[in-house]
């Protein structure tokens, strides 16, 4: 359990139903067909048809177990980010996949039905993780801005790419020696979304994890889990900041 449960799992399925965790006006959606469809997908995969490794969702070190399963050929398919390629399965790491450029492939996450994803997309994805940000309360905004500008110049970004190839925000900076990252970022960046920039997001995300875990463990039905989520989120952000679509 952790943010990966929310972002590399729940979000991707939810975006595929055409919804986000928040609506356009910034209110948390606490009851909707999208949430139910997402939870039913979890139920299908982990409870009804047992297609996924339920233990990896429930155990304390579940994420590492899912990596080990993938490395050992036990699990064929994981929902993961570019981090999975850059770091987890990279040569020399604990979960390195031997000869991965030949045996490992990737696919976009499809929406529930074509055209049904967020913004009417056929495929969905979500970004976010590392960022360099300016503290709004800084005493030296000009200098901080100058430093950030300097760090983001093509020359600096190219030097950084040489140390650690990763998805870049600049179209004029190439990712060296990484056809995988180049290809995924070109395909996925136009489709991508981001998590809400909201102080309550972490607490809501913890409730999302509780909701999916309750369904995966078979403790609650999707309807019951959503009702519990609704009550909890209203408790965190107040009823006026939530919206029920059902």
Q: What is the spatial distance between Cα 50 and Cα 45, in angstroms, rounded to a whole number?
A: 5
- DSSP H or E segment with residue 123: strand 123-127
The neighbour count for residue 168, using CB atoms within 10 Å, is: 20
Nearer to other proteins, 184 or 232 (CB): 232
CA distances from 110 to 20, 160, 216 (A): 15, 32, 21
Tell the smallest beta-carbon distance from residue 209 to other proteins (Å): 10
CA distances from 118 to 20, 121, 210 (A): 7, 6, 24
Q: Which of 8, 21, 104 is nearest to 63 (CA)?
A: 8
Nearer to other proteins, 17 or 232 (CB): 232
| Binder of other proteins out of 64, 152, 192, 228 (CB under 8 A) | 228
Stretch that binds other proteins, among 86-94, 124-132, 138-146, 230-238 (CB under 8 A): 230-238
Stretch that binds other proteins, among 88-96, 102-110, 165-173, 228-236 (CB under 8 A): 228-236
| Binder of other proteins out of 231, 238, 244, 245 (CB under 8 A) | 231
Positions 46 through 85 that interact with other proteins (CB under 8 A): 55, 58-60
**Please, which contacts does 89-97 make with residues 24 or more away whose CB atoms are closer than 8 Å?**
94/67, 95/64, 95/67, 95/68, 95/70, 95/71, 96/71, 97/70, 97/71
Stretch that binds other proteins, among 45-53, 90-98, 151-159, 200-208 (CB under 8 A): 200-208
Q: Is residue 217 at the binding interface for other proteins, with CB under 8 A as the rule?
A: yes
Instruction: Please check whether residue 62 is in contact with residue 55, taking contact to mean a CB–CB distance below 8 angstroms.
Output: yes
Count how many Cα atoms sit within 13 Å of the Cα of residue 180 in the half-sphere of its side chain.
18
Tell the smallest beta-carbon distance from residue 142 to other proteins (Å): 23
Q: Is residue 199 at the binding interface for other proteins, with CB under 8 A as the rule?
A: yes
Tell the smallest beta-carbon distance from residue 202 to other proteins (Å): 7
Q: Is residue 210 at the binding interface for other proteins, with CB under 8 A as the rule?
A: yes
Under rule CB under 8 A, how many of the chain's residues touch other proteins?
A: 19
Which residues contact other proteins (rule: CB under 8 A)? Answer: 1, 55, 58-60, 199-200, 202-203, 206, 210, 213-214, 217, 219, 228, 231-232, 235
């Amino acid at each position: 359990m952790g943010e990966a449960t929310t972002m590399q799992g729940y979000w991707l399925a939810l975006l595929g139903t055409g919804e986000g965790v928040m609506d356009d006006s910034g209110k948390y959606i606490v009851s909707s067909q999208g949430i139910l469809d997402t939870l039913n997908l979890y139920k299908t995969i982990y409870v009804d048809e047992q297609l996924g490794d339920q233990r990896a969702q429930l155990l304390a070190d579940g994420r590492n177990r899912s990596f080990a399963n993938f490395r050992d050929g036990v699990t064929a398919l994981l929902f993961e980010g570019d981090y999975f390629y850059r770091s987890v399965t990279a040569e020399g790491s604990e979960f390195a996949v031997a000869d991965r450029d030949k045996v490992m492939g990737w696919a976009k996450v499809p929406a529930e039905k074509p055209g049904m994803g967020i913004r009417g997309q056929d495929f969905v994805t979500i970004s976010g993780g590392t960022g360099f940000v300016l503290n709004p309360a800084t005493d030296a905004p000009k200098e901080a801005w100058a430093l950030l500008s300097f760090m983001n110049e093509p020359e600096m970004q190219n030097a950084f790419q040489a140390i650690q190839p990763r998805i870049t925000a600049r179209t004029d900076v190439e990712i060296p020696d990484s056809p995988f990252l180049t290809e995924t970022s070109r395909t996925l960046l136009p489709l991508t979304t981001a998590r809400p920039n909201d102080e309550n997001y972490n607490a809501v995300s913890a409730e999302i994890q509780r909701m999916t875990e309750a369904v995966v463990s078979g403790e609650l039905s999707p309807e019951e889990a959503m009702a519990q989520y609704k009550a909890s989120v209203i408790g965190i952000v107040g009823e006026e900041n939530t919206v029920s679509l059902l």
